[in-house]
Structure 1
């Protein structure tokens, strides 16, 4: 019968040693990443529930969400910043979580580097595109048929 050593007994098996690649690196990055996950999680809860409340509970609820609704919201700098914070925090929070999973489960260095490179590129692309959409969105645009897509927030033509 094989005995299982008590945790922190100082005796590590071969499988336990293999996963200690970050130990002793002297970097405080993992501590900051851990702290970021906790703080961003709390802020994200507030941002997401605020977003859901405004979009689903106020006014006509989900039936009112259309181009005009989004255009009206994004005509306010407050909602642009709110949605920008939600986008950035959600993407960075998720990227950090997936990075941790990759570190835990990708055993070969080449696989780990490839997966993390793809993850970081996808994160940068999504954050860049999302930021551009939020700040370059034209709520008073003209539709494909030449008819202005105007709401009460647009100046008269």
Structure 2
């Protein structure tokens, strides 16, 4: 699916389910990893996760589009557009949008720890996303020295 097709799909869904036109830009954001889409408050544009569409298909994308259009239309009307607002929950249920999108395991695995440390004395294992200074940090359990495993 190209950007033009996505724009057309969002405009059609907006008119059919909400009865209101979508007057801004809809696009794929290839840097999104953990979310299906997002509504940009300042520009009123919508961004969608390409990998999510590629993995789960058009039905999941339509649910995400409905979710983001709820944010869009409620914000422009001056109503409660946030997830916890009653207006948002009511409109989302009315149009049949997704409250949560499916979890993309591929994106989740990339954010898991890449550095693994082990205490020399007690053997406790620490998994971290960021590298730590072994001269500065010690084991939180026994105050022993740490050693990098991976």
TM-score normalised according to structure 1 size: 0.28
Question: Which structure shows the bigger proportion of residues in strand conformation?
Answer: 2
Question: Which structure shows the bigger proportion of residues in helix conformation?
Answer: 1
The structure whose Rg is larger is 1
TM-score normalised according to structure 2 size: 0.29
